[in-house]
């Protein structure tokens, strides 16, 4: 979605990406930078649910976050 928002200069898609980004970095991320608190469905759960003993926090999710961060940065650079 970030790539499309950037290519199309679509402000609504850009705002959606920003909401997702803010939710991840403010409410879903571990202090180590890992994401993904639920192994079931490989998904986020409720805000601030980052259990230490049951963290899913797989490497693929962190790579995906890095790729998303790069695209977000590129989208901001165009502004």
Quickly state the pLDDT bin for 2 (edges 50, 70, 90).
Answer: very high
Quickly state the pLDDT bin for 53 (edges 50, 70, 90).
Answer: confident
Q: Is the pLDDT of residue 78 over 70?
A: no
22, 58, 20, 19: which is closest to 37 by C-alpha?
A: 58
Half-sphere exposure of 50 (CA within 13 A, CB side): 15
Domain ranges of the chain: 2-77
The string of pLDDT tens digits covering residues 9-34 is 999 999 999 999 999 999 988 888 88
Q: Is the pLDDT of residue 39 over 70?
A: no
Q: Is the Cα torsion angle 13, 17, 18, 22 positive or negative in sign?
A: positive
CA dist., res. 41 & res. 78, Å (int): 34
Q: Output the pLDDT for position 49.
A: 84
Placement of tokens 């402000």 in the chain = 11
Question: Which distant-in-sequence residues (6+ apart) come within 8 Å of 30 by Cβ?
Answer: 50, 55, 57
Mean pLDDT of 58-71: 89
| Cβ neighbours around 39 below 10 Å, total | 12
């Amino acid at each position: 979605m970030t790539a499309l928002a950037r290519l199309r200069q679509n402000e609504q898609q850009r705002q959606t990406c920003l909401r997702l980004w803010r939710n991840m970095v403010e409410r879903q991320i571990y202090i180590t930078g890992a994401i993904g608190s639920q192994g079931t469905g490989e998904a986020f759960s409720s805000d601030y649910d980052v259990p230490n003993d049951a963290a899913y926090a797989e490497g693929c999710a962190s790579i995906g976050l890095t790729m998303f961060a790069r695209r977000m940065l590129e989208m901001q650079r165009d502004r």
